Amino acid sequence: MDERLQPFEDKMKKTMGNLGEEFSGIRAGRANPHVLDKIRVDYYGAPTPIQQVANVSVPEPRIIQIQPWEPNMVKEIEKAILTSEIGINPTNDGKLIRLVFPELTEERRKELSKDVKKKGENAKVAIRNIRRDAIDSLKKLSKQDDISEDQIKDLEDMAQKLTDKYIAEVDKAVEEKTKEVMTV
C-alpha cells in the first residue's frame, strides 16, 4: 500500500467501525447489552454510560438485567431508558431493572432489515466519497510533483481496489446483520 493512500484507507476503516457501531444498536429479538451504549444517566451531575454505574447482564436470551451499584441510581437509570429511543419499558423492583425484549414480528423484522440495508448503503456512499477524495488528491499531486501519469494511474487503480475491498466488507456485514435480524 502506497503511503499516499494510507489516510484514505484509515477513513474507510473508520467508516466500517461506524457501521459496526450502528449495527450493534439494532436489536434482533435477542437481548443485546449494546443497545444501552448510547444511553447516558445523570451520575452526580455528569452524563455517564449505564455500564459505568451498574452491572449489565443477560440472564435469559430476551432479558437485560441492570443492577446499579448504588440503590439511588435505579430511578435515574429507569428515567434515562424511558427517554431513550430503544422503545422498551423498563421494570424495576427497587434494586434491579429488567428490560424484556418482545419477540419481533415478521413485519418488524422486515423493517429492521430495510434499516440495515439503508445503513449499509450510507456506508458505501461514504466509502465512494473517500475514493473520490483520494483520486482528487492524486490529480493535484500529479500537477505539483514530478510523478508520471503511469504512477498516478497505478495509484488510482490501488484506490479503486481499496474501495472494492471495503464495499465488499460492507456487503458482507449487511448480509450477516440481515440474516441475524430475519432469524426467528
33-100 belongs to CATH 3.40.1190.20:
no
Low-confidence ranges of the chain (pLDDT < 70): 1, 27-29, 145, 184
127-136 pLDDT, tens digit per residue, is 999 999 999 9
| pLDDT attached to residue 23 | 83
Is the pTM of the predicted complex or chain greater than 0.85? no
| pLDDT attached to residue 1 | 65
| C-alpha pair distances (Å), 7 with each of 1, 130, 134, 150, 165 | 11, 10, 9, 21, 16
Positive/negative CA dihedral, 128, 20, 169, 1: positive
Asked whether the beta carbons of 74 and 68 are under 8 A apart, the reply is yes
In DSSP terms, 68 is beta-bridged to 54
CATH for 6-24+105-182? Answer: 1.10.132.20
What is the Rg, in whole angstroms, of the alpha carbon atoms belonging to the chain?
22
Per-domain boundaries in the chain:
6-24+105-182, 33-100
